[in-house]
Structure 1
Amino acid sequence: MNANAIVADIRKGIAAGEYAYGARLPSVRDLAEQYGVSQQTAAAAYAVLTALGLTRTAPGSGTTVAAGPSADAYLGTYAPPDLSQGEAWKPNGAGGGDAVEETYLVRQSTAPAAWAAWGLTEGADIVERHRVRRIDGIPVQHKLTVMPYDIASRRPEGYEGVPPMLAPVGAPPLQPPHGMRAADWLGWNVARTECQITAEPMDLAAAEALSMAEGSPGFRVVSIARTENGEPLFVTVTTAPLHHRVTMEIRG
C-alpha cells in the first residue's frame, strides 16, 4: 500500500463522519503499523492530508481531523441567454501570457468502476481525449474528456470523414460554425451540465501531464453533460495545481 491509498482511506472516513472533527488520529508509528507500511510512507500520507486541509499536525498534539463530514454546496442553476457568448479557456489577469492547448492522447478503452459515479457503466466502450494547457510553455492544466463510443462516433449533419471526437492526435482541429456549441453541432442534445469542484490528490495522468508527482494536491473540476433523461453524454475532468485559480463567468 502506498501513501495515496492511505490518504484515500482516511479521506473516505472523514467524509463519512467516521473521524469526527477535532479527533486525534494515530501517531505516525501506529498508522504505519495499521497499514503495514514504513513510517516514511505514513508520514507522507499525513503530509498530503494536511496539504488538503483535512488534518492538522501540531507539536505535542499529534495529527487531528480538521474537517467535518463531506458536504455538497449547491450554488444554483444558471442559463445564459446567448450561448454564443461562451469563450474558450484563456489566461486570466493582466499580461495574460502565451496560452496553448494540445491534445496529446486519444484512445479507446473501457470505463473503470470509479466512473460509475458519473453514470458511465463499468466496462462500457469509451473514448478518452487527454489535453494539456500551457502558459508560456509551463503546464498549468490537464483536461480529460471521456464519452461513450457511440457518442464519440457521431458526425455533424452532412459531414464526411473521421468523426471529430475520434480524430487522432495531430489531426487539424475541427470547429463548429460560428455561434454554435460543439455539442449542438455534433447533435448531442445537452440538456444540462453538472460541475463538481474538489481539492484532492492528482491521478497519474494529470500528474504526468503537469510534471508533478502522483498524489500531489490539486483542484479537480468534473463537468458532466447529460441528456433530458439524465444519461451522460460526456465528462470533462480538469486538474490544476492548488496554487492556481480556476475561474468562470456566467453572463445574464
Structure 2
Amino acid sequence: MDASTISAQIRKKIIDGDYPHGSKLPTVRDLATNHGVSQQTASAAYAALGALGLVRTDPRSGTRVTASRQSDAHLGTFTPPDLSVAQAWKPTGDGTATEETTLVRQLDATDAMAVWGIEPGSTVVERTRIRSVDGVPVQHKLTVMPYDVAARVPDGYQGTPPMLTQAGEESPKAPVGVRVADWLGWDVARTESVITAEPLDDTVCTALGLPAGSPGFRIIGVTRDSREGTVFVTITSAQLHHRVTLNIIG
C-alpha cells in the first residue's frame, strides 16, 4: 500500500465524518503498523493530507483533523421569481447551518481594490461573516463596499444603517420578498464572478482553523450599477474538499 492510498482512505473518513474536526489521528508509527508500511510512507500520507489543509501535524500534540465533514455548501439562489424562496446559503447535505458577522470596520481602500473598480484611498466598509455547519466553520465571507453605499438606509428608517451594524448586534432585515438592494436603494445591474483554487489568505486560515497556506476555493463577485460603478464586492473562501454550488435564475 502506498502513501496516496492511505491518504485517500483517511480523507474519505474525514469527508464522511468518521474522523470529526479536531479529532486526533494515529501516530506515524501506529499508522505505519496498522497499514503494514514504513514510517516514511505513513509520514508521506499525512504530509499529503496536510498539503490539502485537512490535517495539521504538531511534533508535540500529533496529527489532528482540521477540516469538517464535507458540507457541500451552497452559495445561494440569486434573482428567483419568488424572493421568499431565496437563501443566502445552506448546506446541500445534512447539517445545521449558522452564520455570524465577526467584523465590521471602515478603512481606506487599498491599491489592490482598484481592480474591482474601487478607488484607492477612498473610504470603504468591510464586513466579515463566518458560515458554519454543525458548529464547524466552513466558509469565510468578506464583503467590501464604498462607504456611501454602506450608509444607505430605507425610506423612513431611523437608526444605524443596516450595513454598518456592528458585529454581535442584530442587523435589520429587508421585508420578506424584497431584495436588500431594492430595500436600501442600491442600483444593482449585474454581478461578475471569478472562481479560483489557490492558497487561502492567512486571515481566512485563522478564521477557519486551518494551517497557513491551505488551498481552497476563492469566489470573488463584483456587483456593479447601471453606470458601471462598484456597489459591493464579496470574497467567499472555502476548503477544496467542499463542493461549491449556486443557482442563478432569470
Tell me which of 177, 182, 185 is aligned to 2:183: 185
User: Deviation per CA, 1:10-59, whole angstroms, max 9, x where unpaired?
Assistant: xxxxxxxxxxxxxxxxxxxxxxxxxxxxxxxxxxxxx99xx79xxxxxxx
Would the aligned equivalents of 1:141 and 1:240 in 2 still touch at CA under 8 Å? yes
Aligned length: 177
* In structure 2, distance between residues paired with 1:121 and 1:129: 18
Would the aligned equivalents of 1:84 and 1:181 in 2 still touch at CA under 8 Å? no
Task: In structure 2, give the amino acid aligned to 1:126.
Answer: V
Q: Which has the higher contact order (CA 8 A, sep 6+)?
A: 2
* In structure 2, distance between residues paired with 1:84 and 1:184: 14
Q: Which residues of 2 match residues 85-104 of structure 1 at below 5 A?
A: 85-93=85-93, 96-104=94-102
Task: In structure 2, give the amino acid aligned to 1:107.
Answer: R
* In structure 1, distance between residues paired with 2:157 and 2:227: 27
User: Deviation per CA, 1:183-211, whole angstroms, max 9, x where unpaired?
Assistant: 11011110111111111111122111111
* In structure 2, distance between residues paired with 1:125 and 1:192: 23
SS at match of 1:220: strand
Cα distance, 1:244 vs structure 2: 0.6
* In structure 2, distance between residues paired with 1:213 and 1:230: 38
SS at match of 2:112: helix
Q: Name the residue aligned to 2:161.
A: 163
Q: CA RMSD in A?
A: 2.1
1:229 aligns with 2:233: no
* In structure 2, distance between residues paired with 1:107 and 1:173: 15
Q: Which has the higher strand share?
A: 2
Would the aligned equivalents of 2:80 and 2:86 in 1 still touch at CA under 8 Å? no
User: Deviation per CA, 1:145-176, whole angstroms, max 9, x where unpaired?
Assistant: 01011111111111000000111111112110
Kindly report structure 1 stretches of 4+ aligned residues shifted beyond 6 Å: none
Cα distance, 1:217 vs structure 2: 0.8
Cα distance, 1:83 vs structure 2: 4.6
